[in-house]
Amino acid sequence: MLRIDAPTARRARKAHGRRTLLLFVSALAVLACALPGLARADAVRSVSVDDNSPPPGTPTYVALNGYFPGTITVHAGEAVQWTFKHWHMVIFTPGSQNPPDLAQFDPLHPYSGYNDSLGAPFWFNASPALQVPTGTYGRVGGAVGTSQQHCAGAPSSAPNVEDGTQFRNSGFPTDGTSPPAPYTLCFPTVGTYKYYCIIHRGHTDHGMFGVVNVVSTNTTIPTAKQNDAQAAAERSAAYANATQLDNYNPGANTVSEGHDGSVASLLKFFPSDLSVGIGTTVTFSISSLNEVHVAAFGPEAYRDANESKFVTLPSGEVELNPMIFLPSDPPPVLPPYTGLNHGNGWENTGATTSEAPDPTKPTTLGGASHQITYTTAGDYVYECLIHPGMEATIHVH
């Protein structure tokens, strides 16, 4: 008979207990994957904002203004994290409210000190500045650390919670180029939540927006791998759409400032070279629902001094740069272009936007088109000061 001493028997019993415990834990893990109701309450789903991995051969002027995937489904209690590759934002508003405009009129801090190359003040001096409120560019809410990536028992006012009753905002760096840091919110309540990027005209019926669909924990939802596959498919479709959009003709003596189709945006003037006779009036229009463009003429160094400098802080307030967003001359009619405007050939349409003008929203007042008559022969380069590299030429003969 085989004899087993007491210590050996105890070791065998402990080993058997450990194996049983491991099998039990493994079974729970399998069950948790199989049954949605047992999904982790602190799971974090990922949304990528914009994209920086275009297919080979994609023109550099193609941009994607979208969230990938555009709609993401999560269980109640789970969190969503947005990661940014370019200058975008995420804004949730209470109920079905429209998001705020990017700027508001600030009569307490009028523009001042903006002079042309001859030393003459531009017309907008003493006009109310276009102020970007702190709540627009500053971060509002958002989870801090992994401990806030779940919301069981948290009140709706908790900074990490979005339940449709709070204003939440990822904000954006005011340098106009750096992307925001990742932004995370938890969703405790079943419902559908729409969010926006107001830099790219996000609005309830147009522009850049995404959706978070929150369902009960006993509902099956896509896996993270399936979400990634959906995001990749949406990006591919957007790039394919951009190729189709590139063949665009806005009509005779007309320049379109950009062109887009839903997510894909072409940061390009159509046409990029236009020849006209002396005395011709050219219409600068826009064919974009999620971008704002300008057409600014003048010396390259003068244009470069303002390019991408979206905001200024002369009064301590964050203000939209009037040299970009406001026309160079009093609206609504721009003066004829001679090549010597303001002493050095400076003429700017100011913001051109497809959004209907609203006197309460400064960034909508530029209108959808501007006209300039060319009276002097020459080749005149112009650019969109908002989008570096977006340049074109008018040839007047």
pTM: predicted TM-score of the whole model, two decimal places: 0.85
The superfamily CATH assigns to domain 243-396 is Cupredoxins -  blue copper proteins (2.60.40.420)
The whole-angstrom separation of Cα 315 and Cα 111 is 9
For residue 317, pLDDT over 70 is answered with: yes
pLDDT digits (tens, 9 = 90+) for 47-83: 999 877 889 989 999 999 999 999 999 999 999 999 9
DSSP H or E stretch at residue 106: strand 104-110
Dist CA 161 CA 157 (whole Å): 7
Q: Which fold has domain 53-95+139-240?
A: Immunoglobulin-like (2.60.40)
- Residues 101-123, mean pLDDT to the nearest whole number: 95
Q: Are 112 and 149 in contact (CB under 8 A)?
A: no
The answer to whether residue 204 scores a pLDDT higher than 80 is no
Domain ranges of the chain: 53-95+139-240, 243-396
Top-confidence range, 114-123, 149-158, 364-373: 114-123
Mean pLDDT calculated for residue range 269-291: 95
pLDDT in the model for residue 156: 85
237-255 pLDDT per residue, tens: 999 999 889 989 999 999 9
Domains 53-95+139-240 and 243-396 share a fold: yes
Rounded to the nearest 5 percent, the helix, strand and coil shares of the chain are 20, 30, 50
253/364 Cα distance (integer angstroms): 24
Q: Which of 104, 109, 163, 99 is nearest to 134 (CA)?
A: 104
